[in-house]
Chains A and B, each alone.
Chain A
Amino acid sequence: MPKDSGIGASSKRREDVRFLSGTGNYTDDINRPGQAYVHFLRSDVAHGRLGAVDTTAAAAMPGVVRIFTGADFEGVGSIPCGWQVTDRFGEPMQEPTHPVLAQGKVRHVGDPIAAVVAETYEQARDAAEAIEVEIEELPAVVDMKAALADGATKVHEDLTSNLCYDWGFIEDNRDSVDAAIKGAAHVTVLDLVNQRMVANPMEPRVAVGDYDRGTGDHTLYTTSQNPHVIRLLMGAFVLGIPEHKLRVVAPDVGGGFGTKIFHYAEEAFCTFAAKAVNRPVKWTSSRSEAFMSDAHGRDHVTRIELALDADNNFVAIRTDTLANMGAYLSTFAPSVPSYLHGTLMAGNYKTPNIYVNVRAVFTNTVPVDAYRGAGRPEATFQLERVIDKAARELGVDPIALRRQNFVTEFPYATPVAVEYDTGDYNATMDKLEQIADLAGFPERRKASEAKGKLRGLGVNCYIEACGLAPSNLAGQLGARAGLYESATVRVNATGGLVVMTGSHSHGQGHETAFPQVVAEMIGIPEDMIEIVHGDTAKVPMGMGTYGSRSLAVGGSAIVRATEKIINKAKKIAAHLLEAAEADIELKEGAFSVAGTDKSVAWGDVTLAAYVPHNYPLDDIEPGLEETAFYDPANFTYPAGAYGCEVEVDPETGKVTIERFSAADDFGNIVNPMIVSGQVHGGIGQGIGQALLEHCVYDEDGQLLSASYMDYAMPRADDVPFYAVDHSCATPCTHNPLGVKGCGEAGAIGSPPAVVNAVIDALQSGGKDVTHIDMPLSPARVWAALNG
């Protein structure tokens, strides 16, 4: 019987009621008394030297409050980067400054030049059109190889080149990997592109700055996955506001997928301007603005080599990647192609020799940072594609080749510096074979062929590292932040609980799932527990939601705080029951003395804590409120096997996803309904990357895909129903819930399955195509078929 509450129950989401009735509270729904509106004048050229910015005519336009330019931000800090990568020669990466408004140069289409604050949004926009800007256009650096060529135009003239870093992982293994490849029986080489993506949460970014002259308090309402991170970065590094005078509120957040992790110039601007004009200042991004100002994702160009011995055992992997940073370093950008990518290059396989080389490059494009999966999709894609190519070259079954090389004993220390605590990759592959009905594929292929279609099957595995991260390890790798999570559990006198968590939902259902954990531990109904998040004035310092960390790290902090509550409550119960504390048991919301029928209810104990008339005041304080900070001992390692079946129309090159199946190991599951939903959404984005989405710049650095007219978002009729299963569970060994994280798996595991399936379909049609770069649009597939 499925449970109807607590851990393991598919509790319906309580937040849905407000979202379904139009009463959610997203940032754009917030309007402050007397607020003004800002519109940013953005560069329409990719690279240029900024001359005079004449705001005279614009300032005289109706409703204009004040116009700001880069000069107003002299002495204000640079938008900071939160991760410093050390290159393979032991030198720190090159790190440019990033002004709030452009100073001296513009470096990408969309770089903000001026900001008009006016009574209405329309007036701000009208006035922005009257600003006259002199720009001396410079050659744009768009292609990464060209950016690294001798004599290339520099994006930042104060840096030595456009190279941010040249990173080797692990550098000491470079020569031994070269030797292993040289001595191998077979080497498969694959060149591929992991194309630039735009995260596109459906809610565009919004910021509302507010300032109280009477108290000197600043408030920023913003669309953020991690309000404390914004408070720290913006307060300490940009605007010089101490944390106790700065409140950051992220209310309901309409999706993020990584792009709402980062601290953006618009947030700093609204906070700064609210004080300068002494009025609240609001900015609402249009979708077109979002395309040219939200950090983008992926954008890697890679060569991967997989070496095998005569028995088809993997002996070495070597990769060489160019990773686009864009024009500035976004908050966590340097970590994505390095530590979030290189550490996963072992995948699910026991390859003894691995070396990853990544050169991160500045170009005149929008900054690139974490997008759902962040480095792990890039690692998975190249590895699972090259394995498929190797299987084809060697004439062996791609599933058998994978199984032969699986890691099967845990813990397993990879040659790329991480230790998998647990897993069972054969189990998830077995499960995939079952739920995907792989045995039935030949019949389905015949049926497709009878209709004149090519049918292909693609299978792959993935592993990822979630639950970011042990702070001491992250610090050694260059993180400029800790990666713990916080929770305060406040028990009220009448027994209800408020849980304040540093994690922050942007669609993941924390308000439902976290109470399931606490309800299970205490044995009370879920509706006695309320979650508070997204407000630095209410919640202890927390690091927020990304990297599938909320349950594994944030949930663990909640467990630790709840354990403290239970321990104290047991002391109170022991006093009330006149029994020894060691004999007190908590079950179904009541404390009892072991072996007797004496008990006291949860509510009696909580009341005693706040009305301590009969209370052990000599031993413990009144009240029942505890805080815990949880710093994980290791990453968690979700893993799984994915399968995709496609039909390809040889007349048009159009690919149709016929079946998609996912067998995941997420460890223990708190809410299976929510977990499935996370996998569905990830698969939808992965199919989008594989078939549809592509952020394109022309050679002048003009953004060609700057709206939904040109950027192909997956729609309901682009995808099928998915078969997902997460019954193969090897619980995480080092967090108290045994959970691993499920938010990104779908986006990590699905692109190679789709591409492997299309290549299989084309091969079945007698076409010796070994690779097509994503997105596999009809034009690209047709060209491959007819090339």
Chain B
Amino acid sequence: MRIELAVNGIECVGDVEGRTLLSGFLRDGLGLTGTHVGCDTSQCGACVVHVDGVAVKSCTMFALEADGCSVETIEGQAAADGTLNAIQQAFQDHHGLQCGFCTPGMVMSAAALLKENPEPTEAEVRAYLEGNLCRCTGYHNIVRAILAASGQDVSAIAAE
């Protein structure tokens, strides 16, 4: 079945099965392999993208359901010249990633959080990340990075 959607501002056309997940379409159909799949029960959050501005686990949605939508993925977050956006840069500055596998989902969830709550508390960040698993960082530096990306001073939180 034919779908048309905008991905990172680019109009795309795809031919998908009814059962094709949006995550699979992005990865295999469009070659946008930055969106990762870490589970099959919609719990790890590595596949979070934005659909019409809302954070969605792209493995919980059929590609067909994205027909006519505007989708943003991790590949569309940096500037055209490759300059990282504020959240991405904060993740690098504060060592908010190690293996990098959960990172695309973390960045996309963080962007959604800061859109609805521009200056979250630590507890609000932790609660919001309930649907994003990371096995490497113990979450310490992810939470710091998101607080820093929101413009808050994190220097009092032990870094090293």
Contacts and interface: CB of A to CB of B under 8 A. Distances in A.
The answer on A and B forming one complex is yes
A317 interface: no
B25 interface: no
B99 A202 contact: yes
Interface of B: 17, 19, 27-28, 32-41, 43-44, 46, 73-75, 77-78, 82, 84, 88, 91-93, 95, 97-104, 107, 122-123, 125-127, 129-130, 132-144, 157-160
Interface string A669-695: 000111111001111110100000000
Interface string A276-313: 00000000001110000000000000000000000000
B149 to A, nearest CB: 12
Contact of A681 (B36, B37, B135, B158): B135
A715 B135 contact: no
Contacts of A684: 135, 137-140
A511 to B, nearest CB: 11
Interface in A700-743: 707-709, 713-717, 719, 721-724, 726
A709 B40 CA distance: 10
Given A12-B92, A24-B34, A200 B135 contact: yes
Nearest to B125: A716
B97 A709 contact: no
What 9 pairs between A and B have smallest CB-CB spacing? A22-B34, A684-B138, A19-B100, A254-B101, A507-B99, A22-B74, A507-B98, A680-B138, A287-B39
A33 to B, nearest CB: 14
Given A680-B140, A746-B138, A202 B75 contact: no
A675 B95 CA distance: 11
B88 to A, nearest CB: 4
Interface in A527-560: none
Q: Which of B37, B98, B107, B125 has the most CB of A within 10 A?
A: B98
A698 interface: no
B160 A707 contact: no
Contacts of B100: 15-16, 18-20, 24, 252, 254, 507
Contacts of B141: 677, 680
B158 A721 contact: yes
Given A254-B99, A684-B138, A723-B158, A23 B34 contact: yes
Contacts of A403: none
26 contacts: A15-B100, A17-B84, A20-B97, A20-B103, A22-B33, A22-B35, A22-B104, A24-B100, A122-B19, A202-B46, A202-B133, A287-B44, A676-B160, A681-B137, A684-B135, A707-B39, A707-B40, A715-B126, A716-B126, A716-B130, A717-B123, A717-B126, A717-B130, A721-B140, A722-B138, A726-B160
Contacts of A201: 99, 101, 135
A640 to B, nearest CB: 15
Contacts of A507: 98-100, 136
How many interface residues does chain A have, given as a range?
35 or more
A698 to B, nearest CB: 20
Q: Which of A202, A676, A726 has the most CB of B within 10 A?
A: A202
A681 B138 contact: yes
A503 interface: no
Interface in A743-769: 746
A301 B4 CA distance: 57
Contacts of A680: 137-141
Contacts of A200: 135
Nearest to B28: A31
A202 B78 contact: no
B116 to A, nearest CB: 17
A332 to B, nearest CB: 21
A509 B34 contact: no
B134 to A, nearest CB: 7
A111 interface: no
A26 interface: yes
Contacts of B74: 20-22
A363 B85 CA distance: 51
B135 A257 contact: yes
A726 B46 CA distance: 32
Contact of A685 (B19, B91, B135): B135
A627 interface: no
A335 interface: no
Q: Which of B95, B133, B137 has the most CB of A within 10 A?
A: B95
B88 A21 contact: yes
A13 B160 contact: no
Given A24-B100, A677-B95, A716-B142, 16 more contacts: A22-B33, A31-B28, A202-B36, A202-B101, A202-B102, A204-B38, A286-B40, A508-B98, A674-B95, A677-B98, A681-B135, A684-B139, A709-B41, A713-B133, A716-B134, A717-B130
Contacts of B133: 202, 708, 713, 715
A16 B92 contact: yes
Contacts of A681: 98, 135-138
A285 to B, nearest CB: 10
Interface in A495-539: 506-509
B117 to A, nearest CB: 15
A529 B122 CA distance: 38
Contacts of A204: 37-38
A476 to B, nearest CB: 35
B77 A21 contact: yes
Given A16-B92, A707-B41, A22 B75 contact: yes
B17 A21 contact: no
Contacts of B36: 26, 202-203, 254
A29 interface: yes
Given A255-B136, A708-B41, A716-B143, A20 B130 contact: no
Given A22-B32, A26-B36, A707-B39, A202 B134 contact: yes
Contacts of A509: 98
A123 to B, nearest CB: 11
A717 B19 CA distance: 34
A685 B137 CA distance: 9
A677 to B, nearest CB: 5
A10 interface: yes
Nearest to B38: A202
A253 interface: yes
A719 B88 contact: no
Contacts of A722: 138, 140, 158
